[in-house]
Amino acid sequence: MVDFIHNNKDRYGVDAICRILPIAASTYYRTLDLADNPEHRAKRDLHDEHHAEQIKRIWKESSGRYGVRKVWQQLKREGYIIARCTVARLMQKLGIQGVWRGKNKQTTRSRDDQKRADDLVKRNFNADHPDQLWVSDFTYIQTALLHKDLKCKAPLIEPNLRRNLGKWST
């Protein structure tokens, strides 16, 4: 909008354009002043710019692992006086966040009163001839750091030839 006013001010005048458009003339002049004199910006903007550089530096030094709390603590160790909520606001504005550990998903809920499957091979995994015995096991694999996403993998193995007959995953 400021560019439009700037391009048409010679023909119509700033006040006439600002009366028609929903913008105050003082806003137009303030924007021009800030473009020419960046030191006229609000103190918060100047502090934010400086702190944002430091936050980005600390976050990069941690390989993107540090979140708000650890970045804030590192800034305090380095002698900066800054509120935790300011660090959170600036990190959100910069579009950066730390890595967090998710809770481990309980995959087995064993109970004493629950009936267990019969051990048909009596823990003897040796077969006399091929295709006499097939064994399998479930394995849960966490597939993403940032999301609580578990995949289940269950390979089917023929122990006599030690070959993988197939695999099943979700």
Q: Where are the domains of the chain?
A: 1-40, 52-99, 135-169
Helices 84-94 and 43-61 pack at an angle, to 10 degrees, of 80
Torsions phi, psi for 66 (to 5 deg): -70, 135
pLDDT of residue 144: 66
Of 13-17, 66-70, 88-92, 109-113, give the lowest mean pLDDT range. 109-113
Cα–Cα nearest to 2, from 40, 37, 29, 20: 29
Q: End-to-end alpha-carbon separation of the chain, Å?
A: 53
152 has a pLDDT exceeding 60: yes
**What percent of the chain clears pLDDT 70, i.e. is strictly above it?**
93
Least-confidence region, from 19-23, 146-150, 151-155: 146-150
Rounded to 10 degrees, what is the CA torsion of 20, 26, 31, 36? 130
pLDDT number for residue 156: 80
Average pLDDT, the chain: 84
Residue 168 phi/psi, 5-degree rounding, is: -130, 130
Give the model's pLDDT for residue 146.
57
The gap from C-alpha 2 to its chain's centroid, in whole angstroms, comes to 36
Residue among 50, 51, 47, 71 at smallest CA distance from 59: 71
| Residue 129 reports pLDDT greater than 90 | no
Q: Which residues are within 8 A (CB) of 128 and not within 5 positions of it... i.e. 6 or more apart?
A: 160
Of the two residues 86 and 100, the one the predictor is more confident about is 86
